Amino acid sequence: MCTFFFTFCVLVGALMCYSMHGELEESLNLGLTEAIRFYKDTDTPGRCFLKRTVDLLQIEFKCCGNNGYKDWFQIQWISNRYLDMSKKDVRVSDLVISYQDRLRSNVQGKYLMDGVPFSCCNINSPRPCIQQQISNNSAHFNYEHQTEELNLWMKGCRQALLEYYTHIVQSIGLTVLITWLFELSVLTGVRYLQTSLENGLRQGDLNSESDGWLLENGLMETARINLNIIKNIGKCNQIDTANNGDPNIDVPSSSIAH
């Protein structure tokens, strides 16, 4: 009966593979947001390799930002060490300004601009990558940023990673499910063999035909017995000794009386 319980657990595990989509997306969202936020902190102990990791991620998964390339416009991703603070558009300012201006200005001491790291660049583009002033059409010759599909990776990294992990997890789930079906069929066959052999022994002739069955006492009765067994699973030893010392055969007490 412990085998049935185990089989049931395997099924639950397989089904859980299909239901964890939401949690996975939430974790990816959180992790990517943090990673992008600390991209510039290459001097900070513990975050020195974050830039490298994010760059590799964007290149390998052909993605940019968390939701998309515009995520890089909302944060300062270049360290102050590499910014000329004496320039006007890099100066610290606490002015609240319009969104368009914010892209080229400082808000609360942060240098924001419509540029992305090199790893966002689509390697399939015939044109050398445009990384700076992405939303300014007049800053580049023959450039229309709304229709430019090939310049940067258009997909956000959360989406790319989610598709990747969902694919892996669903493959695992499918394998477990198939294994489970196989296990169930073997278990069913063995159960028929066991009961028919038992009946043959009772008739005293193993060569004659005998009936086999899956459930001896009907569905509801069996479910009740199994529930009791699972309830008592902590006291497994007591159950085993109660069944004639053989832990593999759960003979209901009613059938012993036959």
Ligand X SMILES: *[C@@H]1O[C@H](CO)[C@@H](O)[C@H](O)[C@H]1NC(C)=O
Of 19, 98, 124, 138, the residue at the interface with ligand X (CB under 6 A) is 138
Q: Measured between alpha carbons, how far is 133 from 101 in angstroms, rounded to an integer?
A: 12
Give min distance, CB of 155 to ligand X, in A.
26
In the complex with ligand X, the residue whose CB is nearer, 37 or 104, is 104
Give min distance, CB of 114 to ligand X, in A.
8
Task: List for the chain the helix, strand, coil content (%; round to 5).
Answer: 55, 0, 45
Size of the residue set binding ligand X (CB under 6 A) = 5
Among positions 77-136, residues that touch ligand X (CB under 6 A) are: 104, 133, 136
Q: Any contact of residue 139 with ligand X (CB under 6 A)?
A: yes
Give min distance, CB of 103 to ligand X, in A.
8
CA pseudo-torsion sign 209, 210, 211, 213: negative
Q: Are strands 106-107 and 110-111 parallel, antiparallel or unpaired?
A: antiparallel
Q: Any contact of residue 237 with ligand X (CB under 6 A)?
A: no
- Residue 134 and residue 72 in contact, taking contact as beta carbons nearer than 8 Å: no
Among positions 33-62, residues that touch ligand X (CB under 6 A) are: none
Q: Measured between alpha carbons, how far is 64 from 32 in angstroms, rounded to an integer?
A: 11
Residue appearing with tokens 């995520």: 71
Give min distance, CB of 178 to ligand X, in A.
57
Give min distance, CB of 105 to ligand X, in A.
10
Contacts of 209 (CB under 8 A, 6+ apart): none
Which residues make up the interface to ligand X (CB under 6 A)? 104, 133, 136, 138-139
